[in-house]
């Protein structure tokens, strides 16, 4: 090959390389522009942070929601920039904040929080924080924020109305109940069999109305955050017995028997007795309602290493497998009970779940259609063990917090 030919081939090759490099550069640039445009076009607020929580990007909706421009906030540690409050208005410590939890656990976190706007006002937001992983390495998080202030206001008005209406219904209902009891007990003279039967029907209906009113009242208390659980040492067996006493009549109408398995110390527990009674009352009332006559209800209590567990087991109709995911949702009723059991509005288990949350415990169940259902309640053995970070080792939390502080310094 002649020298001129070699030079010609080399320059041709260089041309190719330069072209392909500039093609790649422009490809990378256009990719970046597309990413930028996509990010800025998201209809909800979007904020990205690096793996230490330093803000890397904020889209126009989030700028508007929080009052800061991108220039003001990029590069700043997110928790320093925005104070976060939980939905009851209590300031969240750094370890409890959704961003920290997403960074520590690598899991998607969805919840309602309140952030402080630049002008000092509070913005109520629904937040979803998803960790971003590249080659299985956590490189940051993306938060999607949605303003829920107006939904919250409407919901609050609805809760206030329900709370007021339930309060107003309580007093007349308890008068009806007291006088019906007096009539049944013969305190106002002897009654014929048919009069007695009618009064018992009235009493059952009043009891049901009372239960519904108290469920509505408790739900509005939970949703407005006004329920305060007072944990004290108590003997759970006493509460179990009193719940059974309250339901003995209804159960005996269906020939349903109770049995209780409790440790000999009466099952000492640190929790709120009134709330526990409400929770157990709901589970026992369901067990009676959804168990055919001559059935059996067993209430058991036991300890394991970290928890105290109470279970309510019945030999009833069971919950169809395709309904298992919805059982704790508001107004949910399974197909197999709607036809046969008219009484019920699908709020009892929603309330049980909310109350167990307040107690720092959990509720779950096992069920087989046609065979029966067991609901389990678990209570942490240490009253203080209610942190949302309870599944993460304190060391891990400490390491991440230290890293975060180092980044800020």
Q: Which residues bind ligand ADP (CB under 6 A)?
A: 286-287, 290, 314, 316-319, 327, 332-334, 337, 344-350, 373
Query: Shortest approach of ligand ADP to residue 188 CB, angstroms?
Result: 34
Report which of 143, 138, 217, 215 is spatially closest to residue 396, judged by C-alpha positions.
Answer: 138
Question: Mind giving me the DSSP string for 47-100?
Answer: EEEETTSBEEEE-HHHHHHHT--HHHHTTSBHHHH--EE-TTSPBPPGGGSHHH
CB 314 within 8 A of CB 337: no
Query: Shortest approach of ligand ADP to residue 32 CB, angstroms?
Result: 51
Structure tokens that stand for 104 in this block: 């520590």
Complex with ligand ADP: residue 263 or 344, whichever CB lies closer: 344
Cα 341–Cα 371–Cα 288 angle in degrees, nearest 5: 40
Query: Shortest approach of ligand ADP to residue 298 CB, angstroms?
Result: 12
Complex with ligand ADP: residue 303 or 330, whichever CB lies closer: 330
Complex with ligand ADP: residue 48 or 373, whichever CB lies closer: 373
Query: Shortest approach of ligand ADP to residue 243 CB, angstroms?
Result: 14
CB 183 within 8 A of CB 191: yes
Query: Shortest approach of ligand ADP to residue 151 CB, angstroms?
Result: 23
Query: Shortest approach of ligand ADP to residue 286 CB, angstroms?
Result: 4
CA distance 236 to 269: 6
Complex with ligand ADP: residue 143 or 218, whichever CB lies closer: 218
Query: Which residue do the tokens 């609901």 mark?
Result: 375
Query: Shortest approach of ligand ADP to residue 369 CB, angstroms?
Result: 9
SS3 content of the chain, % helix, strand, coil (to 5): 50, 20, 30
CA distance 375 to 370: 16
Complex with ligand ADP: residue 83 or 340, whichever CB lies closer: 340
CA distance 60 to 238: 58
Class of residue 120 by CB neighbours under 10 A (exposed 0-12, middle 13-18, buried 19+):
exposed
Query: Shortest approach of ligand ADP to residue 250 CB, angstroms?
Result: 13
Complex with ligand ADP: residue 324 or 398, whichever CB lies closer: 324
Report which of 299, 226, 240 is spatially closest to residue 269, judged by C-alpha positions.
Answer: 240
Point out the residue whose Cβ comes nearest to ligand ADP: 348
Complex with ligand ADP: residue 86 or 366, whichever CB lies closer: 366
Question: Mind giving me the DSSP string for 232-251?
Answer: EEEEHHHHHHHHHHHHHHHH
Query: Shortest approach of ligand ADP to residue 273 CB, angstroms?
Result: 21
Complex with ligand ADP: residue 45 or 348, whichever CB lies closer: 348
- Phi/psi class of residue 149: alpha, beta or left (left: φ > 0; alpha: ψ in -120 to 50)? alpha
Complex with ligand ADP: residue 40 or 315, whichever CB lies closer: 315
């Amino acid at each position: 090959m002649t020298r001129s030919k070699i030079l010609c081939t080399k320059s041709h090759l260089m041309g190719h390389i330069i072209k392909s490099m500039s093609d790649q550069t422009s490809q990378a640039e256009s990719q970046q522009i597309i990413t930028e445009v996509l990010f800025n076009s998201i209809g909800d607020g979007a904020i990205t942070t690096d793996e230490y929580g330093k803000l890397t990007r904020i889209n126009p909706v989030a700028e508007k929601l929080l009052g800061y421009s991108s220039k003001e906030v990029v590069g700043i540690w997110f928790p320093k920039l925005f104070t976060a409050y939980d939905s009851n208005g209590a300031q969240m410590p750094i370890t409890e904040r959704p961003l920290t939890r997403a960074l520590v656990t690598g899991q998607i976190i969805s919840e309602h929080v309140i952030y402080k706007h630049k002008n000092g006002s509070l913005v109520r937001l629904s937040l979803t924080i998803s960790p971003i992983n590249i080659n299985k390495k956590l490189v940051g998080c993306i938060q999607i924020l949605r303003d829920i202030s107006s939904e919250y206001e409407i919901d609050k008005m609805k809760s206030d109305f329900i709370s007021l209406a339930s309060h107003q219904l309580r007093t007349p209902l308890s008068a009806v109940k007291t006088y019906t009891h007096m009539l049944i007990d013969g305190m106002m003279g002897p009654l014929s069999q048919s009069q007695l039967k009618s009064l018992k029907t009235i009493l059952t209906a009043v009891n049901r109305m009372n239960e519904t009113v108290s469920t509505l009242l408790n739900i509005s208390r939970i949703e407005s955050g006004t329920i305060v659980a007072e944990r004290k040492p108590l003997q759970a067996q006493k509460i179990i017995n009193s719940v059974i006493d309250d339901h003995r009549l209804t159960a005996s109408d269906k020939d349903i028997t109770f049995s209780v398995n409790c440790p000999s110390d009466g099952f000492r527990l640190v929790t709120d007795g009134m709330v526990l009674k409400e929770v157990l009352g709901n589970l026992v009332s369901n067990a009676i309602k959804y168990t055919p006559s001559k059935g059996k209800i067993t209430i058991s209590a036991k300890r394991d290493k970290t928890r105290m567990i109470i279970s309510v087991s019945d030999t009833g109709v069971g919950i169809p497998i395709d309904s298992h995911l919805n059982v704790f949702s508001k107004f949910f009723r399974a197909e197999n009970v709607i036809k046969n059991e008219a009484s019920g509005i699908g709020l009892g288990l929603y309330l049980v779940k909310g109350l167990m949350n307040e107690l720092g415990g959990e509720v779950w169940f096992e069920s087989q259609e046609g065979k029966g259902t067991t609901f389990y309640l678990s209570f942490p053995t240490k009253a203080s063990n209610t942190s949302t970070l309870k599944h993460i080792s304190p060391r891990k939390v400490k390491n991440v917090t230290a890293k975060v502080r180092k980044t800020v310094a």
